Amino acid sequence: MALKRSRAFALLVGLSLITGLGYSQFGGSANTGTGDPHARELVNQKCTACHGMSSVTGTAKYYEDWEDTRFRMQEYAQGKPSSFTEDEAYAMIDYLTDNYGVK
């Protein structure tokens, strides 16, 4: 009986580690990214005005895909507090590509 519990515990720990590694690989939080702190703060402010951070960073994308997302989001955000300038958009795209892009 103790052996079954040990195996179950080991399996649980192993799955937790794998899940944690996968989560960190695709970005669980923009606060963990590297690079321009201003761009990181822009992502935190602008993107989380409408989305949870995991929905922003949960899918690795190429630069062009982040750019497509930017155009879509900017179109929806017209006149809202989450709207952003051209310079802010490219700073966020660079940050997201560097930290949460396809590796």
Structure tokens at 35: 């690079």
Take residue 80 and report the two structure tokens written for it.
Answer: 């809202």
Query: What pLDDT does residue 65 have?
Result: 97
Cβ neighbours of residue 68 closer than 8 Å, sequence gap 6 or more: none
pTM attached to this predicted model: 0.62
Task: Name the percent of the chain lying above pLDDT 90.
Answer: 43
Here the tokens at position 18 are 């794998």
- Which residues sit opposite 101 in a β-bridge? 61
Query: pLDDT tens digits for 3-27?
Result: 555 554 444 444 454 444 444 444 4
Q: pLDDT by residue (tens digit) across 37-62?
A: 999 999 999 888 888 999 999 999 99
| Domain ranges, ordered by start, for the chain | 2-100
Q: 71: Cβ–Cβ under 8 A, 6 or more apart, which residues?
A: none
